[in-house]
Amino acid sequence: MKVSRLTSVCHTKVLILDDSSFYRDRSKRVELLAHCFDHAKRRHYKGFRMLTLGWSDGSTFLPIDFSLLSSSKEKAKIDDIDSTIDKRCSGYKRRIEALQTAPEQIPGMVKRALSNGIDTSYVLMDSWFTQQPLIKALTDQGIDVIGMVKPTNQRYRVGSQWVGLRTLYRLSKPVTSHKEILRSIRTTMANGVPVKVVFVQNRNKQSEWLAILSTDCTLTEREIIRTYGMRWDVELFFKATKSFLKLQKEFQGRSYDLLISHTTIVFTRFILLSWQNRCSTDNRTFGGMFYELCDEMNELDWAVALTQLMDILHDALTKTKKSIKRWVTCQLTQWIESLPNYIKVYLPKLGCES
């Protein structure tokens, strides 16, 4: 990836998973149309769930895969698959995937991203996806998971007992180095995956806490929180595509293939705009010129520092005896004369008094 080459090796690169509502409230006959629930607005709507996988390095977000999810429940489905679709084509396979749940599709999406050479270290997920079977499926692919968890029936091993998240909070050790980080603990999930759970203050409600889970136990508490904060990029992506790139509004077709094509075009627009923005703000896109300027700046910094050192030494010599000053000046002159010419040009010329 061109963007990945602009990212420093020490910077974290992540995959971000999230879903968003894809409204078709005014439609009556759209292929695979279903009744869905919007958790943000707390209401039902007609349409799809747009499951999205994106890549981010903290500066640029790029969508790399998506799926428009319908529902496998007969009560929720409004329209079914078009019976004239050839079952051997990729369009029919996408329709079958639309009837799957998000946890069933996510491992395949991540596997496709890794097999295509996407450079990443972690998968970031919201609390809707941090289920133990899904975490196990992703870690088996060799990638770590960082996500928020909520108090559910999931159990964690502490010593010889299995406890829930609330009990885990009471058993964890307090963290005093940062006021917003309350506690942290290393534990093991019921499926045998070792994790580190960090409890942070809920800014919206000071009396409550939030829990962030990481399968990479080598990270510090602050690194886990900082990395999870990169998940906000996907929320900005959803806002931009719906508000400015006319996702859901530009196209009103009834075919599922047309819905996929429309979403792909919108995502492609966003990728091009993100790349253009990165090129206009990242100086490394100047190529060799950037590195030549960097070398020149480093050379100038070295020359300035050496000149300042000589000035300090000269000021110190003015306060000493003439005999000592004469001897030190002669030694410096001989040393400077022995240096290469490309270093001499940056040093002052000293006269050795006889």
* CA 74 to centroid of chain Cα atoms: 37
10-residue mean pLDDT series, the chain (354 residues): 64 93 90 91 92 93 95 89 91 93 94 93 94 95 95 91 94 86 94 94 87 95 93 94 91 89 95 88 58 49 67 77 81 77 64 53
Contact 247, 264 (CB under 8 A): no
Domain ranges of the chain: 1-120+244-286, 125-231, 288-344
DSSP-derived secondary structure for 290-323: HHHHHHHHHHHHHHHHHHHHHHHHHHHHTTS-HH
- Cβ atoms of residues 210 and 199 within 8 Å: yes
Q: What element of type H or E holds 82?
A: none
Question: Scanning the structure block, which residue is given the tokens 């692919």?
Answer: 141
Q: Rg of the Cα trace of the chain?
A: 30
What pLDDT, on the 0 to 100 scale, is given for residue 304?
A: 66
Q: How far apart are CA 197 and CA 186, in angstroms?
A: 6
103 close to 72: Cβ distance less than 8 angstroms: no
Give the number of C-alpha atoms closer than 13 A to the C-alpha of residue 290, restricted to the C-beta side: 9
d(CA 106, CA 66): 10
**273-288 confidence digits (pLDDT tens):** 998 888 887 655 555 5
- Residue 354: per-residue pLDDT: 45
**Coil, strand or helix at 282:** coil
What is the structure's pLDDT at 297? Answer: 44
pLDDT of the residue at 337: 77
> Longest C-alpha distance within the chain, in Å?
104
The structure's pTM equals 0.77
Owner of token pair 């990242």:
282
- Amino acid sitting at position 46: K
Q: What is the dihedral of CA 165, 170, 171, 172, to 10 degrees?
A: 80
CB 12 within 8 A of CB 143: no
The per-residue pLDDT for 301 is: 56
- Within 10 angstroms of residue 161's Cβ, the number of other Cβ atoms is 10
pLDDT of residue 317: 76
Question: Closest Cα partner for 140 from 189, 188, 107?
Answer: 107
pLDDT for res 335: 78
Number of separate helices (H) and strands (E) present in the chain = 11, 12
Residues 6+ apart with CB under 8 A from 328: 313, 317, 320
